[in-house]
Structure 1
Amino acid sequence: MNMRKMLFIVIPLLFILNNAVSFFIFQSGRTVQQSYNMMLDRVLLYKQIEEKTRDNLRAINVYIMDRDNSSLGTYQTKSDELKELRSSLSAQTAISSTELMVRSYRHMLDTFMLQEADIIKALSSRTPLAYAASYGEAETTASFIQEEAYQLIDQELSYYQPFYRKIFVQTEVMNHWGVAVFILNTVLSVVLAYWISLRITRPIQELVRTAKQISDGNLQVAPPQMSAHSEFRILAESFDHMQENLRLLIQTEKESLEKDRLVKELELEVLQNQINPHFLFNSLNVLSKLALIEGAEKTSDLTVSMSNLLRYNLRKLDQPVPLRDEVEHAKEYFVIQQARFRERIRFVTEIDEAGLDVLVPVLTLQPLIENVFVHAIEGMEEGAVIKLAVSCHGDETWVAISDNGAGMNEQIRESLLHYDREEPVRKESGYGGQGHSTGLGTRNVFRRLELFYDKKDMVDIQSEPGKGTTVLIRIPAAGKGDGYVSPINRGR
């Protein structure tokens, strides 16, 4: 039996048992009360009749002495009250032992009321003392009524005495039973509560011990065994599945770590065969000075630009820089590219100095300009124009990079804007040169901007095939101060 069914059975049973004992005790008390009320009503009725009989005699006596209407009215009122008591006596059900006495009592009341009527009638006649005989008889009847009332009261008390004694005994027994049932219910409730709590807490404690062993690294511990009808069986089975999943996850993680270790070793071997970037940076500085000494100023300037570009690229990718540094870096990059393209390209800038103090992730502009060279204007023989514009618009700084190159279709534009997708954008007609793919470096810039400012929809692209492209970045003018930029690999 599971916990739910057990609670549905035990709790209603205890409730019904308590209510049954309470009902029997209540019913016993109610029976005693009803019997007592019936007896008391008859006793009080006998007493009231006896008193009202004497009141009637006194009222007649007053009327005999006064002979006025006020005394007569008083008598008639008391006579009516006696008649009402007589009717109440007739409505009462007498006990078997007093039935004859009650019948005789009613007859005496009827006789007394007739004698009273004879007294009133005799007082109306002109014969003196005509009422005396009737008055004497009424007094005698009243005394009989009084004696009969006392006897009836004694009979009632005698009749109900053993009955009440029996009821009291039964009530006492029921009280003892009530106390016993109360104690039994209390003991049963404590025992059942303890048993139910064990049924609940023991599986939980076993599961807690199993969880602690798993947290300590013991994945081979067996889960606690639960009854087939226990609600905790599902939880135990979930623990078993969790252990199995953890074992598989750890095995997979070990394999992944081993692969990463092998890759790192391979990268280390490759790195050992590469030229040290700082050595290359120092060598470029030496070449620049040598070219300047030999009179090759353009070569010296180009070498200096390459050195500055390399030095800028050696910065940490997780540190923000002012937009001013990014613009200067973009100009250095253009100087190097112009040495390759010469008069085929022209670099135009429209810079609002007020917007250059905002902080941006390092290497934000150069990858976008690089994509312009690779995918937009590389195939143009002449007239290529790249424009870099920085302007202030309210609480934002706008950075726009425009070109008059090949442009792109809507599919490529949407894919570049939805940079949360993983698949690269392949070369389409009218955008890019032969042998290139597009979208990886651009996506990296867009993603780092989103992480840096914790804001979406900062970038917009306007482009049509054959009509050039404009990339617009809306930067919050307040910047981000000490913001953190995840060092994402900026592959292209």
Structure 2
Amino acid sequence: MNMRRMLFIVIPLLFILNNAVSFFVFQSGRTVQQSYNMMLDRVLLYKQIDEKTRENLRAINVHIMDRSPGSLKEFENQRAELKALQTSLSAQQPVASVELAVRSYRHMLATFISQEKSVMDALNSRTPLAYASSYADAETTAGFIREEAYQLIDQELSYYQPFYRKILVQTDVMNHWGIAVFAANTVISLVFAYWISLRITKPIQGLVRTAEQISEGNLEATPPPMGVHDEFRTLSEAFRQMQENLKLLIQKEKEGLEKDRLVKELELAVLQNQINPHFLFNSLNVLSKLALIEGAEKTSDLTVSLSNLLRYNLRQLDRPVPLRDEVEHAREYFIIQQARFRERIRFETEIEEAGLDVLVPVLTLQPILENVFVHAIEGMEEGAVIKLAVQCKPDETWVSISDNGAGMSGEIRDSLLHYDEASPKNADGKSGHSTGLGTRNVFKRLELFYDRKDLVRIESAPGAGTTVILRIPVRGKEENHVSPVDRG
């Protein structure tokens, strides 16, 4: 459950609980108030009826004395008000204990009203003092009404007294319950507030600690585990993904630095051999021309090949070259080596022209060929064969260099493929005649250049020769002159 949904549930529940307690207490008080109002209304009504009957008697006396229209009108008003009170009394629902008394009280009030009418009718007759008997009856009835009103008030109060005591006890209990519920609600609110704040602050504190550790250089620090599916778990996963991306970026930066280091080492190795290159080129050209003049054509060709080989080795090393240039450079290198080994070796090529346009790092094939001469066929007296093949695959160009030399053991093959830690010695542990580049350097440069680790395969066994296969991605065709340092 996420934090937003939790707040939407907890806060309304607390609000409803508070309102329910408040409404219950309010409703209890309202019930008491309604009962009290009903009783008070009946008591006041009894009191008003008693007063109004006496006012009606006074109005009759006034009219008997002056017989004026004003006194008659005043009597009619008083009589109308008394009838209104009679109607209110009829609408009241008395309690069971005073129902008979209320009914008698109604009859007495009706008798008084009819006696008033009799008095007024007697006043309008021609018989003197005919009203006296009716007035005396009305006055007696008014006295009964007064006494009955007092008795009804006493009975109403007596009836409601235990009821009110019970209500007061219940109200007191409800007040205690209200206080208890309020205290419990306060405690629950504080617990929920602490729990919710803990759910918010604890994950944030864990992420802050992890961020501080990462800022101090500890990239292996992991965010605290989040047990529920909420916003903080999403934030923790995003934080962990950012951490992985940071590691990846740092790894790529290290690889870029490694590329720079390899290129600088390569340039340094070449610069160590670059002793006044213009003087060497001029000297080789002079030797070539001199050999040609003296009729030594092979010597002239060998000198030209050496000049081309030296010029290729001194070119800019941080620029990729087409595979075609590497193949031509390999041929020049073989011409020089054949002058040394003569008929003991044979160089074969099987080239598909469509595969020569891919880009490769400069000086990719020569170190592998040099390793073949030094470690594979140097001890062979005759019949040595080195084959260079280029084959086109759907998404790759395969370059294979094979020989029928001494081969190598699985341990040596693995040491060549696992080139993370470069060795100052050659694959077999012996120092050899090398340019200093090394096959491991070539494999590492290929990996950094194409950002892949599955580009090299070595097939070999002791006494069965060796085949080195390079898998060059075809995408190199579209990236003309892109520095390997910038790739990744």
Deviations 1:410-440 (A, max 9, x none): xxxxxxxxxxxxxxxxxxxxxxxxxxxxxxx
Kindly tell me the number of residue pairs found equivalent between the two proteins: 276
Counterpart in 1 of 2:153? 153
Per-residue deviation, residues 366-412 of structure 1 (Å, max 9, x unmatched): xxxxxxxxxxxxxxxxxxxxxxxxxxxxxxxxxxxxxxxxxxxxxxx
The corresponding residue for 1:282 is none
What TM-score, normalized to structure 1? 0.53
Tell me the equivalent position of 1:352: none
Counterpart position of 1:366: none
Distance 1:228 1:109, change over 3 A: closer
Residues 54-453 of structure 1 mapped to structure 2, 5 A cutoff = 54-263=54-263
Shift in alpha-carbon separation, 1:274–1:227, aligned structure 2, 3 A = farther
Distance 1:247 1:76 in 2: 106
SS for the counterpart of 1:220 is coil
Q: Quickly say closer, same or farther: Cα 1:273–1:56, change in 2 above 3 A.
A: farther
Deviates more, 1:99-108 or 1:6-15: 6-15
Tell me, in whole angstroms, the C-alpha distance in 1 between the residues paired with 2:276 and 2:109: 139
Moved more, 138-147 or 114-123: 114-123
Q: Which residue of 2 aligns with 1:9?
A: 9
Per-residue CA deviations over 1:88-145 (Å, capped at 9, x if unaligned) read 1111111111111111111111111122122112222232222212111111111111
The residue type paired with residue 17 of structure 2 is: L
Q: Deviation at 1:263?
A: 4.2
In the other structure, the counterpart of 1:26 is 26
Amino acid at match of 2:127: T
Q: Secondary structure at the match of 2:221?
A: coil
| Separation in 2, partners of 1:120, 1:273 | 155
User: CA 1:118/1:223 → structure 2, altered by over 3 Å: closer, same or farther?
Assistant: closer
Residue identity matched to 1:52: K
Aligned-residue offset at 1:21: 0.8
Aligned pair in 2 of structure 1 residues 228, 67: CA closer, same or farther (>3 Å)?
closer
The CA RMSD measured in Å over matched residues stands at 2.5
Q: Which letter does structure 2 place at the counterpart of 1:219?
A: L
- 1:4 Cα shift? 4.4
Match of 1:43 in 2: 43
Secondary structure of the 1:217 match is coil
Q: In terms of mean alpha carbon deviation, does 120-129 or 157-166 score higher?
A: 120-129
1:68 Cα shift?
1.5
Which runs of 5 or more structure 2 residues have no equivalent in the other structure?
278-488
How far 1:231 moved relative to its partner?
3.2
- Secondary structure of 1:127's counterpart equals coil
Q: Aligned to 2:225, what secondary structure does the other structure show? A: coil
Q: 1:97 to 1:274 in 2, by over 3 A?
A: farther
The CA distance in 2 between the partners of 1:239 and 1:127, in whole Å, is 115
Q: Distance in 1 between matches of 2:98 and 2:256?
A: 108
Letter in 2 for 1:169: V
For the structure 1 residues 182 and 274, does the alpha-carbon distance in structure 2 shift closer, same or farther, using more than 3 Å as the test? farther
Residues 173-224 of structure 1 show CA distances to partners (whole Å, capped at 9, x for unaligned) of 1111111111111111111111111111111111110111011110122331
- Distance in 1 separating the partners of 2:228 and 2:187: 29
**1:42 counterpart letter in structure 2:** R
CA distance in 2, matches of 1:135, 1:118: 8
Comparing 159-168 with 235-244, greater Cα deviation is found at: 235-244
C-alpha distance after superposition, 1:61-100 (max 9, x if no partner): 0011101111111111111111111111111111111111
1:260 to 1:109, Cα distance in 2 relative to 1, 3 A? same
Amino acid at match of 2:98: T
SS of 1:144's partner is: helix
Q: 1:74 to 1:228 in 2, by over 3 A?
A: closer
Residues 274 and 26 (structure 1), Cα distance of their counterparts in 2 relative to 1, 3 Å cut: farther
Q: Amino acid of the residue matched to residue 59 of structure 2?
A: A
* Structure 1 gap segments, 5+ residues each: 276-492
User: 1:249, 1:92 → 2: CA distance?
Assistant: 91
Q: CA deviation at 1:273?
A: 8.2
228 and 178 in structure 1: CA distance in 2 versus 1, 3 angstrom threshold: closer
Equivalent in the alignment of 1:323: none
For the residue of structure 1 that corresponds to 2:248, the secondary structure is: helix
Q: Which moved more, 1:183-192 or 1:248-257?
A: 248-257
| Structure-2 change in CA distance of 1:256 and 1:138 (3 Å) | same
Letter in 1 for 2:161: Q
Q: Percent identity?
A: 74
What per-residue deviation string (whole Å, max 9, x for no partner) do you get for residues 228-271 of structure 1? 43432222222332232222222221221233345456778879
Query: Aligned pair in 2 of structure 1 residues 229, 95: CA closer, same or farther (>3 Å)?
Result: same
